[in-house]
């Protein structure tokens, strides 16, 4: 695929360049709680600005239902982008209508505008090719060139990701080029031992990647809410913990395949439990205790890995040459249940291997817990996209950028 540097070399001065970014940042009201995804696209925007392009940045945020919703406005993200690049950023209050057309028309060379949330238009996410294509046609009227740099959305067959590149000369931004390069290190000629850490709430979200990695990884460490389905599959009591009972047959199959293939499958040996889920806003101290993973009391909720598990997982990561981590080990947003996630992050920092933090909650946890992002090999901006790439799937947004 063509790079942004090649596109710039061909000349972008005075041209309108549509940058499909991923500004899907977490918000508390109108306050951005983690601006990592905005900072990730900043180099591409600044490179285009320096080359004299008229930059039109577009993204989704959250899951509005195809209509304007103030709770999902990109206005805060536009303001933050302006702060980061040190320049005024214009903001269009719609996607392709009067405000978008006027805002883009008013741009001078080297200026930047952000369009309102693309998902405010039903055409962005439509499964109907004609409806999606019609929206892509209207977006194409706003630009001369296209740069795909929203890695967190490349696994979606959406108008701005999949259809629009076919309508304009296109290239991959620096972020996408970096992300793809990193993922190739996890799939091609991988340095071993290769350890994978998977957490988060649902086993079902990770089934595809577990299936694929059983053929590639040397060790798979499981934590977070999904661990309790594995523990239940082994016949253990899991109390009121997160459980996907319908996934137990698949889990048992994976455990058997791992054993047959010599892949080490590592599960928690102790867990931190409480009688109720914590208040994540107040973050007040809670009553909790640590119990063996095979002796959880009925009625209690598993909320984090215990200290023995943290030590075990650190030992399994210490000699790894390659580590991929996706999903927190517990309810890291509350200080009583953050130690499992902190332990994995610290193990990656201490390791001399190449470590990849796979986006989403894991990336947020790294920043929330105060780790230096530069201490990791790479922090991805796209958890879902990373997982689908590792599953071996074709990602529509990447396919659209290839000529």
- For residues 153 and 196, membership in a common domain is answered with no
- For residues 101 and 8, membership in a common domain is answered with yes
pTM reported for the whole predicted model: 0.88
Q: Residues forming the annotated binding site for (2R)-3-phosphoglycerate?
A: 37, 119, 156
In this structure, is residue 399 part of a structural domain? Answer: no
- For residues 151 and 195, membership in a common domain is answered with no
360, 382, 383, 397: the active-site residue? 360
CB-based contact 381:151 (threshold 8 Å): yes
Distance of CA 179 to the CA centre of its chain: 11
Q: Which of 155, 177, 199 is the last residue of a domain?
A: 177
In this structure, is residue 397 part of a structural domain? Answer: no
Q: Which of 143, 177, 211 is the last residue of a domain?
A: 177
- For residues 24 and 54, membership in a common domain is answered with yes
Q: Which of 177, 209, 241 is the last residue of a domain?
A: 177
Nearest to 147 by CA among 348, 5, 358: 5
Q: What are phi and psi of 246, to 5 degrees?
A: -70, -15
Q: Residues forming the annotated binding site for substrate?
A: 22-24, 37, 60-63, 119, 156
Active site residue 360: yes
CATH number for position 125: 3.40.50.1260
16, 37, 80, 232: the active-site residue? 37
Active site residue 138: no
pLDDT in tens, the chain (403 residues): 999 999 999 999 999 999 999 999 999 899 998 898 999 999 999 999 999 999 999 999 999 999 999 999 999 999 999 999 999 999 999 999 999 999 999 999 999 999 999 999 999 999 999 999 999 999 999 999 999 999 999 999 999 999 999 999 999 999 999 999 999 999 888 999 999 999 988 888 888 889 999 989 999 999 999 999 999 999 999 999 999 999 999 999 999 999 999 999 999 999 999 999 999 988 999 999 999 999 999 999 999 999 999 999 999 999 999 999 999 999 999 999 999 999 999 999 999 999 999 866 888 899 889 999 899 999 988 888 988 998 888 999 999 999 7
- For residues 199 and 166, membership in a common domain is answered with no
Q: How many domains does the chain have?
A: 2
- For residues 238 and 383, membership in a common domain is answered with yes
152, 353, 384, 397: the active-site residue? 384
- For residues 289 and 215, membership in a common domain is answered with yes
202, 216, 367, 393: the active-site residue? 202
In this structure, is residue 97 part of a structural domain? Answer: yes
Q: Residues forming the annotated binding site?
A: 22-24, 37, 60-63, 119, 156, 206, 302, 333, 359-362
- Which residue range(s) make up the domain with 16? 4-177
- For residues 23 and 164, membership in a common domain is answered with yes
What torsion do the CA atoms of 229, 234, 240, 244 make, to the nearest 10 degrees? 30
Active site residue 202: yes
Nearest to 35 by CA among 82, 77, 95, 91: 77
In this structure, is residue 68 part of a structural domain? Answer: yes
- For residues 201 and 91, membership in a common domain is answered with no
In this structure, is residue 185 part of a structural domain? Answer: no
- For residues 213 and 281, membership in a common domain is answered with yes
Nearest to 271 by CA among 239, 318, 316: 239
The pLDDT assigned to 118 comes to 98
- For residues 159 and 259, membership in a common domain is answered with no
Could you give the C-alpha distances from 165 to 122, 161, 276, 398, in angstroms and in order?
19, 7, 48, 10
Nearest to 273 by CA among 221, 326, 325, 236: 236
Task: State how beta strands 270-274 and 301-305 pair.
Answer: antiparallel
- For residues 100 and 158, membership in a common domain is answered with yes
What torsion do the CA atoms of 123, 124, 129, 135 make, to the nearest 10 degrees? 60
The pLDDT assigned to 359 comes to 67
Q: Residues forming the annotated binding site for ATP?
A: 206, 302, 333, 359-362
In this structure, is residue 400 part of a structural domain? Answer: no
């Amino acid at each position: 695929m063509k790079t942004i540097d090649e596109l710039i070399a061909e000349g972008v001065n005075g041209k309108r360049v549509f940058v499909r970014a991923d500004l899907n940042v977490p918000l508390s009201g109108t306050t951005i709680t983690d601006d990592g995804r905005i900072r990730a696209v900043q180099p591409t925007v600044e490179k285009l600005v320096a080359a004299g392009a008229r930059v039109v940045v577009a993204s989704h945020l959250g899951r509005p239902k195809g209509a304007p919703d103030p709770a999902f406005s990109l206005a805060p993200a536009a303001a933050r982008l302006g702060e980061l690049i040190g320049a005024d950023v214009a903001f269009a209050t719609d996607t392709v209508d009067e405000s978008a057309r006027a805002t883009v028309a008013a741009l001078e060379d080297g200026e930047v505008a952000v369009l309102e949330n693309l998902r405010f238009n039903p055409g962005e996410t439509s499964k109907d090719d004609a409806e999606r294509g019609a929206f892509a046609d209207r977006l194409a009227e706003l630009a001369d060139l296209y740069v795909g740099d929203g890695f967190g959305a490349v696994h979606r067959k959406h108008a701005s990701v999949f259809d629009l590149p076919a309508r304009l000369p296109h290239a991959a931004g620096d972020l996408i080029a970096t992300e793809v390069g990193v993922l190739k290190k996890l799939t091609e000629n991988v340095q071993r031992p290769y350890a994978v850490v998977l957490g988060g709430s649902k086993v079902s979200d990770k089934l595809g990647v577990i299936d694929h990695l059983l053929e590639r990884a040397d060790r798979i460490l499981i934590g977070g809410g999904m661990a309790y389905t594995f523990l239940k599959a082994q016949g253990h009591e899991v109390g009121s913990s997160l459980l996907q009972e319908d996934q137990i047959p698949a889990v048992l199959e994976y455990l058997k395949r791992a054993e047959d293939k010599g892949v080490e499958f590592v599960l928690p040996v102790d867990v931190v439990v409480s009688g109720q889920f914590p208040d994540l806003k107040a973050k007040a101290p809670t009553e909790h205790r640590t119990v063996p993973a095979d002796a959880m009391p009925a009625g209690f909720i598993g909320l984090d890995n215990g200290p023995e598990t943290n030590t075990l997982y650190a030992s399994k990561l210490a000699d790894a040459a390659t580590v991929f981590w996706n999903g927190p080990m517990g309810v890291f947003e509350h200080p009583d249940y953050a130690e499992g996630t902190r332990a994995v992050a610290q193990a990656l920092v201490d390791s001399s291997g190449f470590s990849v933090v796979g986006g989403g909650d894991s990336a947020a946890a790294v920043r929330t817990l105060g780790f230096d992002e530069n201490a990791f090999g790479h922090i991805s901006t796209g958890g879902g996209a990373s997982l689908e790439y590792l599953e071996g799937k074709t990602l529509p947004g990447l396919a659209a950028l290839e000529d």
